[in-house]
Amino acid sequence: MDLETALGLYNYWVVIFLMMTGFYMVIARRNLIKSVIGLNIFQTSVFLLYITMGKIHGGTAPIVPPDVVKSHSVHHAVTEGGSSTYGPVEHEASGYVLPGPLVAEHLQTDHAPRAIETLVGDEASPRQEILLEGARLAGELDGIVYSNPLPSVLMLTAIVVGIATTALALSLIVRIRVDYGTIDEDKILEMDRLP
Amino acid sequence: MISENLPILMIVLPLVAAPLCVVVGGRRFAYGLSLLVVGCVFAISIALMTEVVRSGTIRYEIGNWKPPYGIEYVVDGLSAFVMLFVSGLGAIVLVYAPRSVDAEIPHSKHYLFYASYLLCLTGLLGICITGDLFNVFVFLEISSLSSYALISLGGTRRAPLAALQYLIMGTIGATFILIGIGLLYQMTGTLNMADIAQRLPEGFQTRTVLVAFAFLTIGLCIKMAVFPLHTWLPGAYTYAPSVVTCFIAATATKVSIYAFVRVIFGIISPQFAFVELPLARSLMLLAIVGIFAGSLAAIYQQNVKRLLAFSSIAQVGYMLMGISMANEAGLSAGLVHMFNHAIIKGGLFMVVGCFALRIGSVEIKDWQGAGRTMPWTSFAWAIGGLGLIGVPMTAGFISKWMLLTSALQTGRWPVGVLLLISSLLAVVYIWRVVETLYFSEPSETVKQAKEAPLGMLIPTYVLIGLSLLFGVWTAYSVGLAQQAATVLLGASS
């Protein structure tokens, strides 16, 4: 691994650093609150790991620009008409021009319909049409690179789980504090050893 | 309409009933609703099992989204088998629960107890039914978080501490599993288990897959309480309320073992795990060390719940041993032991709950002579204990016999010898309790103790009776497990 690759992976270095910091705090615990903080740091490092793997260099958020959504009905009519697909398609709302041949080429490749078939089954349904339309729009946006949204979505769930875990841990610590009068684990264990 | 949607109902019913218990409140309503829902879930699991036996694997697409884009529920021989006994035990423990819960948990918290119980069941069943790897993590956390809450309901001040220790270990385990899932996703770009299994062979040689598998194994080993990652288990089982210990001891570790089997045989192929990696040998070693360490520790315990907890660590070793043999006989032995041990340990913890209710203690010395005043409860301990030891005509014998024959068939005779010696250790710790119950003078408290109420004795005897029934009539336990093992090994070869 040369220096450039090593530096390029800096996100992963941060992940490993955070992971080990958190893990060490949990193991070397004295104070119960501190070990819960360690647990939190440990979990956070995993969020960063997932988000890093979803990010593509130069990629943008996977949202269809509003201009394209607005002009979609106009464009729909043009492509259905057939003859004008090879001319530049002008968008009514924004006025910016999409390369016509590129759109046509995209519609001819059968990748999109096949992907949609696997999604909703092969029978023609309103849902399939909507998805096909979505694929056409995606084709128009050729050249734009999107980041993978799935890892970020997964991490939303994991964050919720992390919050629930922290809340539960803290409420348990409150009860321990009430019963023992301390949150120092050594002292607690010492108190339980005495009859 | 309903019959098509059974897989999702299995999860949605308890999941919706849990918040309903909290919103409506009232302990009678909460108990009634829980009983109804758990009964329905058990009926559904029977229906799914018969359906799977008749026409093979059921695949259910949630919201009609085709996998791998949508989440898929898969009910095959193995998951139906595990769900059947998890929901069955959930139902029996709930029938047993009210008297014990009355005595051990403040009335104002009953509805919360039943809500957590339902959530825990949801999580355990969800792990079994889902075909999506990230879903496994989510359900694992649902079941874990609710079991931390259940354990902390125990009466002593040690209960919250034990729950917190379990929480810290459990969260580390779950986070390891999450890392493993993430790395597999990075390599394959999918979360659907079948899809990952299909795409993974291309990446077998990479370090990422190796690390992913290592994280998954360690994470699940913490959840399974494999020696030496078992440290959370004795405290959690000892200080939890009796009913909670019954339920968690009978189901939670088994479901984690199910998840482990699924990872090895359903995702990472056994070829990779056992041939290219030395997993079989290391698991076998951990299993044997765990069996001996657990059994030896159990012999020296003064608290019966703690004794049974250490025995559980040993029994997990037997199941792991079966899996690590990596052949059909060994795998089905491990699965049958999962089933038998769930019934036996559930029954024994119910006996402990009966004594805790009447005598008010679970220390061995306080049980002296209880055989005279509580003959039925004591007899249940003796029979259940025979099952745990593995005496012929009990369920425990069947699975240990299967393990033994499988070990001898594959030429691992030292393993067979160790298996027999370890069973003798079980005789020692079971006998210590039997001796105290029958052969010593009862103390004043024990003299005044009455027989346990019928509402608790009947469920206890149902489980103890089942442990005898499955010792002679093995068509369902062994039959279904063998079928599941064949499917697992067939799918991966």
Is B141 in CB contact (< 8 Å) with chain A? yes
Between residues B37 and A28, which one has the greater pLDDT?
B37
Tens digits of residue pLDDT in A160-190: 999 999 999 999 999 999 988 888 888 888 8
| CA pair distance B222, A187, nearest whole angstrom | 26
Residues A158, B158: C-beta atoms closer than 8 Å: no
Q: Are B252 and B124 in contact (CB under 8 A)?
A: yes
Average pLDDT estimate for A130-149: 66
Determine the Cα angle at B62 with ends B60 and B66, to 5°. 80
Residues A151, B185: C-beta atoms closer than 8 Å: yes
For B314, how many CA atoms within 13 A lie in the half-sphere containing its CB? 28
Tens digits of residue pLDDT in A38-88: 999 999 999 999 988 888 777 777 776 676 666 655 555 444 444 433 334
Closest CA to B318 of B393, B202, B399: B399
ipTM attached to this prediction: 0.89
Closest CA to B334 of B321, B346, B343, B347: B321
pLDDT at residue number B462: 92
Indicate the SS3 state at residue B450. Answer: coil
pLDDT at residue number B326: 78
Cα B144 to Cα B170, B197, B216, B217: the distances in Å are 7, 27, 16, 18
CA distance A66 to chain B (A): 25
Phi, psi of A109 (to 5 degrees): -65, 140
Out of A53, A158, A180, closest to residue B178 by CB: A158
Interface of B with A in 168-227 (CB under 8 A): 168, 171-172, 174-175, 178-179, 182, 185-186
Average pLDDT estimate for A139-163: 82
pLDDT at residue number A30: 81
| CA pair distance B8, A186, nearest whole angstrom | 46
Out of A42, A119, A179, closest to residue B175 by CB: A42
| Tokens linked to B41 | 């879930």
Render each residue's pLDDT in chain B as its tens digit; 493 residues: 677 888 888 999 999 999 998 998 888 888 999 999 999 999 999 999 988 888 888 888 888 888 778 888 989 888 999 999 999 999 999 999 888 888 888 888 889 999 999 999 999 999 999 989 999 999 999 999 999 999 999 888 889 999 999 999 999 999 999 999 999 998 888 888 888 888 887 666 788 888 898 999 999 999 998 888 888 999 899 999 999 999 999 999 999 999 999 998 888 877 777 777 788 888 889 999 999 999 999 999 989 999 999 999 999 999 998 888 878 888 888 899 999 999 999 999 999 999 888 888 888 888 888 888 888 888 999 999 998 888 888 888 888 888 888 888 888 888 888 888 888 899 999 998 898 888 888 888 778 888 888 888 899 999 999 888 888 887 777 888 888 888 787 755 4
pLDDT at residue number B309: 93
Residues B168, A176: C-beta atoms closer than 8 Å: no
Phi, psi of A118 (to 5 degrees): -65, -30
